[in-house]
Structure 1
Amino acid sequence: MSRWCRTKLFKLGSQLLNNRLSRNGFTRKTKLPKFGQRQKGTVLITVVLIAAFVIVLVVEASKTITYQKQLSSNLINRDQAYSYLLGMEELAKIWLKKAFENTKEETVHLNQPWAQDDITFPLDGGGMTASIRDMQSCFNLNTIAVASTGGERGGNDPNARGGGNNPGGNNPGGNTRGGGNNTGGGFNSATGAANETPGQKILGQLIRKVNDKTEISGDALATAVRDWIDEDTIEAGPDGAEDAYYQALEFPYRTANGLIAHESELRGIKDFSQPLYNLLRPHICVLPDKDINQINVNTITAESAALLFAVIDAGATNSRSITLADVSSAISNRPEEGYEKVDDFLNEFGEKKNDIGESARGMLEVKSSYFQMSAKAEIGKTRVAMKTLFKKDDENNFKVVSRYFGRE
């Protein structure tokens, strides 16, 4: 059979088969139309875009979940560390009370049980350290504006600035700069400036000792601190600074006109730089009582000999008699249980002790009533620091005066 015949028979058979299927209800499947050459990658691109979108959603959801998980963990650790520090605060109160109950000593010195550095307590997932410091081994900045005596002018004139029968003690914020309870000093009619307070002299001398390369005098800086604290708006001298100075700055603010709450306030006072503040920080502190200006000669360390020298030099009758080396020697020769009396400390200077004035002697003490606990807790990657100030009463009870959270 020829090829032509075979082809005809095949076509005829196909037609008969299609007719038979049609009569029985069957139809042949229609072929899908073929895409053009330009439409072949459309489906692939669509699939890739959908996959990329889903991946982005999954990644962002994973980041959010991880962040929320870490945040929750940090908050839990912070609250737990906070609770640990409060517990340490209560433990410090008990420790201080027992330390003074178990001794008949009336003095406070560094050989007593409370005087320990960095006591470590292990915790689950971290640890905690604490130490206690005598806060009368540093200079209380709030004593700067307290005057001991009146000034040169006075009499019965109600407008006088201290001295005479008008010490300014009952004028808490007027124009008088008297002694008594007023936060000011006498007034020097010759210079037109307020007389230096004992605290001013001490701070000025301390600044000169810790930073003798500064272009600004220690007396000028001390005057600026006095103006920051005192309740009036009259500059204490040509180097003083009241509201008018600070309000003229690019970012204006006003003076505190009250007690300093934290020693870091010095950074906001005229001409106090960060390097100078870092040098002063080991020697200064802030107490809520402006009348506490005594330095405990039993707890001050050799590193703070400059402070003790500043106290003695500020009230010395002969400022060249006693040197910083003499003060350092008196600290080094201190007995293990401290000096029993201030006179025992003064005897270390030999005949030079006669050059120490009464005002300086009145600022030396062998007892203390303020203590500070510095504690740090670390749990995981969370760190919390706290400082608590305690006040000791005559019955050896300790109460919390202030509490500060933040960096060390």
Structure 2
Amino acid sequence: MTGPRCARRPGGREEGMALLTVLMLVGVMGALTVITLERMNRALAMTTNSRSAAQGHHYARGAALVAAERIETMLAELEGPLTLAGGWEEAPMTVPTAGGAITIRLSDASHCFNVNGLVTGSPGGATRMRPDAITQFAGLARGVGIGAQRAQQMAMSLVDYIDSDTYPQAGGAEDGAYSGYRAPNMPVAATGELMAVANWNAADYELLKPFLCALPTTDMQPINVNTLSEADAPLLGMLVPSGVSVAAARRLIAGRPAAGWGSQAEFWADARAIGAMPLARAQYQVDVTSNLFRADIEVEDGGFAVRESALIRLGGAAGEGGAHILRRSWSGAA
């Protein structure tokens, strides 16, 4: 006689399947919830970062105006030449914000050769080669160790790159030298564009880079000799076609009067004492004050950092007073 069989509870299999289904649904819903929350957090972080970046750039724009006003005030209070006395280049301005601070550092930006000055004329209009600027550029290139023939070739290629015509200079290069694109035949907006110029290479560009600027004008940039450092000696050498080495220019800068040179005449008197005979027009390209400044701005607010630089000129194209922001560039955020 067999023993009693174990009775199965009715619907047991169905209940197990239902429980498994519920567990699967709970798992899927949990995963979807995690994904949704992650996306919401990411969207919130992106929104917060965007707002912080926008706020940082607003602060930076305001800081550029503060810097321009500070420059106006500094020069208005100045009696005599602009020197580094008082440490205005070394002492940053700090402005507190609700979540951090804004730091502004000013520097003299007149120490450069304006590459757009290789041509004369109005930007956007007809321009032509400026011979004395080519002589200066060649002198600057030689001063940093570039050979005379190569320096001339680089200068002519750059003239053809920015002048308004399509006729190449001797040793220059117009559209035919560029594969896939044409020379813009207009002033460059930044010195980084020079890497696209025919007959230029990275090694020579790096040698010249500290001494070049690309200003929105074809005027030659006056250089304040009272704020030059010894590292800027090649800029003085370019104003004197022969007879003065970069080493001699360094000694001239190192021997600058404590109160600075009071006039162009005073500077050239000391320069001639070491054999410097400037180009005729170059005599007026040195100055004892500055009309071009740079403001490096760093905004740290709410854990977000924005860095910008502003190029500020004193006096407009028509000669009116006041500081004008020529260009602002964003150098990064973190």
Classify 1:223/1:373 alpha carbon distance in 2 versus 1 (closer, same or farther; 3 Å). same
Matched, 1:205 2:179: no
2:162 touches 2:188 (CA, 8 Å); kept in 1? Answer: yes
Matched, 1:67 2:42: yes
- Tell me which residue corresponds to 1:302: 230
1:135 touches 1:285 (CA, 8 Å); kept in 2? Answer: no
| Aligned amino acid, residue 60 of structure 1 | I
Structure 2 gap segments, 5+ residues each: 1-7
Classify 1:354/1:47 alpha carbon distance in 2 versus 1 (closer, same or farther; 3 Å). closer
1:108 touches 1:298 (CA, 8 Å); kept in 2? Answer: yes
TM-superposition CA deviations, 1:229-258 (whole Å, max 9, x none): 1110111123x2222222x2xxx3332212
- Taking the aligned partners of 2:138 and 2:18, their CA distance within structure 1 comes to 82
| Aligned amino acid, residue 112 of structure 2 | C
| Aligned amino acid, residue 140 of structure 1 | N
TM-superposition CA deviations, 1:233-289 (whole Å, max 9, x none): 111123x2222222x2xxx33322122222222232224444544443321112222
- TM (norm. structure 1) is 0.69
- TM (norm. structure 2) is 0.82
Q: Which has the higher strand share?
A: 2
Specify which of 36, 54, 58 is matched with residue 29 of structure 2.
54
- Taking the aligned partners of 1:115 and 1:274, their CA distance within structure 2 comes to 30
TM-superposition CA deviations, 1:281-310 (whole Å, max 9, x none): 321112222123322211222221122212
- Taking the aligned partners of 1:241 and 1:407, their CA distance within structure 2 comes to 35
2:308 touches 2:328 (CA, 8 Å); kept in 1? Answer: yes
Aligned residues: 321
1:101 touches 1:396 (CA, 8 Å); kept in 2? Answer: no
* Correspondence 1:272-351 to 2 at 5 A: 272-313=200-241, 319=242, 321-351=243-273
Residue 354 of structure 1, CA deviation: 5.7
Specify which of 387, 393, 397 is matched with residue 322 of structure 2.
397
Classify 1:215/1:300 alpha carbon distance in 2 versus 1 (closer, same or farther; 3 Å). closer
Residue 312 of structure 1, CA deviation: 2.1
In percent, how many aligned pairs have the same letter?
Answer: 24
Residue 41 of structure 1, CA deviation: 7.6
| Aligned amino acid, residue 265 of structure 1 | E
- Tell me which residue corresponds to 1:364: 286
Specify which of 42, 65, 68 is matched with residue 93 of structure 1.
68
Q: Whose relative contact order is higher, 1 or 2, with alpha carbons under 8 Å and at least 6 apart?
A: 2
Residue 220 of structure 1, CA deviation: 2.0
Matched, 1:382 2:307: no
1:208 touches 1:217 (CA, 8 Å); kept in 2? Answer: no
Classify 1:360/1:123 alpha carbon distance in 2 versus 1 (closer, same or farther; 3 Å). same
Larger-Rg structure: 1
- Tell me which residue corresponds to 1:140: 114
| Aligned amino acid, residue 137 of structure 2 | L
1:99 touches 1:113 (CA, 8 Å); kept in 2? Answer: no
| Aligned amino acid, residue 233 of structure 1 | T
Q: Look up the SS of the partner of 1:270 in the other structure.
A: coil
